[in-house]
């Protein structure tokens, strides 16, 4: 399966998100912006949930490229200590179990698992959750 | 420096008006404002016009008259109307003009706004993966805020309940039926913790404001509604904004914080001096957070404020007296100017069943939008 875009996460197993570090201020952002101001830097694989919500209606296409059949999904912001707070899907968790402060780790999920050529996008799941 | 006064106001009802373009809703509002001020279109020396999706505002000269006036189009997200007003008051304050127009209108398709990543300097994957959704941001922001400051879901519901109740008394509002609190709370979730009644909808509408120098206002003989301050600001470091793939661990303030502080500084008064406020309420939690971001209370005090009814029309600080965005909907170009329209109505004492009691003398307005812009006004009678 291919990534939804180049340069978002490393090819390692397990993968890491690729952030950008401001060469002057040291500020870290995600994703790494194009140009010379930021240099790519791997981000921590684990962090804590900073906030969250559930997407309960199908976004308009374009730009949304997910499956035509809609199922609600969880998303949120995960704080990677000392680095940045990244926006991400949440995977392998019941909506009722989501809580700010919970420990999460990076995983990759298919945007549309039933597509002929699924694309992978980043998500965080409870640490140690089974696939 | 002499004050800038608002001498004429006009509004086309918000909501959905089949068969009438956004531009024509703007023209409707302008004609009403001209009549209100007792002036002719040929007397208007300049205009700033705001529209996000309903075409170039300056094309309204075809309808209103080819007088050759200076007409500048403004496109600045949700702050477009506020930006038009800021520009108009600056033109008069400069001494170059005596009478000018700030006008805003819009007509959005049904359903949620559908912005494209490239318009916000974001990569395509961000939209493909389903993140170009304003409601996600609003929900994530209030979820964090509720966690930090103890705001309850019922607090969110109370804001929506008040909005629809106030809207019943505003002829320009879209939603004019009260909605009971339990219906609001039990409605389907759109983006947790928000139910469908807690979000405003993109809509249609037009608002026109005629601004004049104090000298011109006295000549027209209208009540002097003074625009004491109009500010527009962009985001500071560490803010949390719409369409943010990442945010800084070191948390900072907001565009609203600095637009508000600047407006109070210019007006020479403080939050305690304000008699009523229109605060951006694209969703119920926004009103709650914006009460604090604009300096009217400390973070977390809103829960008690709501329980005590302090933001009701008869309360200590009435907020969104015409039902705000929740009851009026949000035509982007017109929305910020609607707040100022409503404040002029209130300061003139023309609010009817929604009139703030006690002869209010000061009024405040605030808009917020992507990707971190805010516009504030303070008015005095």
At B327-349, the pLDDT tens digits run 999 999 999 999 999 999 999 99
Q: What b/e readout covers B195-208, taking b as 16+ CB neighbours within 10 angstroms?
A: bebbbbbbbbbbbb
The answer, for B109 touching chain A at a CB cutoff of 8 Å, is no
Residue B78 pLDDT grade (very low, low, confident, very high; cuts 50, 70, 90): confident
Q: Which of B114, B116, B128 sits opposite A65 (nearest CB)?
A: B128
In a domain, residue A46? The reply is yes
Token couple for A10: 């490393």
Token couple for B254: 């907001």
Q: From chain B, pick out residues whose CB is under 8 angstroms from the CB of A84.
A: 246-249
Residues of A with CB under 8 A from a CB of B: 4-5, 8, 19, 27-31, 50-57, 59-60, 62-66, 73, 75-77, 79-87, 89, 95, 100, 111, 121
pTM of the model: 0.95
Q: Is A4–B129 a contact, with Cβ atoms under 8 angstroms apart?
A: yes
Q: Is A87–B245 a contact, with Cβ atoms under 8 angstroms apart?
A: yes
Please, are residues B51 and B22 in contact by the beta-carbon 8 Å criterion?
A: yes
Q: Taking Cα atoms as reference points, which of B330, B279, B321, B335 lies closest to residue B134?
A: B330
The average pLDDT across B307-328 equals 98
- Does the pLDDT value for residue B47 go beyond 80? yes
Interface predicted TM-score (ipTM): 0.97
Token couple for B15: 């909501």
Q: Taking Cα atoms as reference points, which of B326, B336, B343, B346 lies closest to residue B376?
A: B336
The domains of chain B, with CATH numbers, are 4-111+200-380 (3.40.47.10)
Residue B135 pLDDT grade (very low, low, confident, very high; cuts 50, 70, 90): very high
Q: Which of B128, B246, B248 sits opposite A87 (nearest CB)?
A: B246
Please, are residues A124 and A91 in contact by the beta-carbon 8 Å criterion?
A: yes
Q: Is A85–B249 a contact, with Cβ atoms under 8 angstroms apart?
A: yes
Strands (E), B44-180: 46-50, 70-74, 99-107
pLDDT number for residue B1:
60
Q: Is A100–B143 a contact, with Cβ atoms under 8 angstroms apart?
A: yes
Domain that residue A11 falls in: 2-126
Percent of chain B with pLDDT over 70: 100
- Of the given ranges (B91-105, B107-121, B125-139, B359-373), which has the lowest mean pLDDT? B107-121
Specify the DSSP class assigned to residue B282: S
Q: How distant is the Cα of B244 from the closest Cα of chain A, in angstroms? A: 7
Instruction: Count up the domains in chain A and report the number.
Output: 1
Q: What is the pLDDT of residues B194-204, one digit of tens each?
A: 999 999 999 99
Give pLDDT < 70 ranges for chain A: 130-131
In a domain, residue A105? The reply is yes
Residue B369 pLDDT grade (very low, low, confident, very high; cuts 50, 70, 90): confident
The average pLDDT across B213-230 equals 95
Q: What b/e readout covers B61-83, taking b as 16+ CB neighbours within 10 angstroms?
A: beebeeeebebebbbbbbbbbbb
Q: What is the pLDDT of residues A86-123, one digit of tens each?
A: 999 999 999 999 999 999 999 999 999 999 999 999 99
The count of other CB atoms within 10 Å of the CB of residue A5 is 17
In a domain, residue A131? The reply is no
Specify the DSSP class assigned to residue B356: P
Q: Which residue of A has its CA nearest to B247?
A: A85
- Dist CA B30 CA B182 (whole Å): 40
- Does the pLDDT value for residue B98 go beyond 90? yes
């Amino acid at each position: 399966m291919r990534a939804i875009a180049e340069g978002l996460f490393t090819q390692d197993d397990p993968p890491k998100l690729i952030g950008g570090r401001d060469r002057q201020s040291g500020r870290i952002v995600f994703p790494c912006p194009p140009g010379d101001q930021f240099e790519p830097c791997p981000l921590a694989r684990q962090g804590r949930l900073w906030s969250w919500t559930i997407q309960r209606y199908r976004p308009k296409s374009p730009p949304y490229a997910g499956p035509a059949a809609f199922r609600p999904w969880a998303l949120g912001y995960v704080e990677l200590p000392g680095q940045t707070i990244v926006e991400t899907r949440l995977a392998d968790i019941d909506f009722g179990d989501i809580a700010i402060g919970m420990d999460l780790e990076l995983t990759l999920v298919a945007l549309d698992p039933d597509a002929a050529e699924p694309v992978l996008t980043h998500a965080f799941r409870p640490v140690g959750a089974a696939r | 420096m002499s004050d800038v006064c608002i001498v004429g106001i006009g509004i086309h009802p918000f909501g959905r008006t089949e068969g009438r373009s956004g531009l024509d809703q703007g023209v409707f509002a302008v004609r009403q404002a001209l009549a209100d001020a007792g002036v002719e279109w040929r007397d208007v020396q300049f205009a700033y016009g705001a529209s996000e999706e309903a075409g170039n505002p300056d094309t309204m000269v075809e309808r209103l008259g080819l007088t050759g006036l200076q007409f500048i189009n403004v496109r600045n997200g949700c702050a477009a109307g506020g930006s038009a007003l800021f520009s108009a008051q600056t033109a008069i304050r400069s001494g170059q003009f005596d009478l000018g127009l700030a006008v805003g209108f819009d007509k959005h398709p049904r359903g949620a706004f559908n912005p494209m990543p490239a318009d916000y300097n974001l990569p395509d994957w961000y939209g493909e993966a389903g993140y170009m959704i304003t409601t996600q941001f609003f929900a994530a922001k209030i979820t964090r805020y509720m966690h930090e400051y103890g705001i309850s879901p019922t607090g969110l519901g109370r804001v929506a309940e008040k909005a629809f109740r106030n809207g019943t008394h505003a002829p320009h509002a879209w939603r004019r039926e009260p909605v009971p609190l339990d219906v609001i709370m039990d409605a389907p979730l759109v983006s947790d913790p928000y139910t469908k009644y807690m979000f405003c909808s993109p809509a249609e509408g037009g608002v026109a404001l005629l601004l004049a120098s104090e000298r011109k206002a006295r000549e027209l003989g209208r009540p002097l509604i003074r625009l004491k301050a109009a500010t527009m600001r962009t985001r500071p470091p560490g803010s949390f904004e719409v369409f943010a793939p990442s945010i800084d661990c070191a948390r900072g303030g907001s565009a609203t914080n600095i637009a508000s502080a600047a407006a109070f500084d210019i007006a020479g008064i403080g939050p305690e001096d304000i008699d009523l406020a229109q605060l951006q309420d694209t969703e119920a939690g926004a009103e709650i957070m914006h009460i604090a971001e604009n300096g009217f209370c400390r973070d977390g005090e809103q829960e008690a404020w709501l329980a005590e009814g302090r933001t009701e029309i008869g309360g200590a600080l009435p907020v969104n007296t015409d039902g705000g965005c929740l009851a009026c909907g949000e035509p982007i170009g017109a929305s910020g100017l609607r707040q100022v329209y409503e404040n002029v109505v209130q300061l003139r004492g023309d609010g009817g069943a929604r009139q703030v009691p006690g002869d209010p003398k000061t009024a405040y307005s605030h808009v917020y939008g992507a990707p971190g812009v805010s516009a504030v006004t303070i008015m005095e009678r």
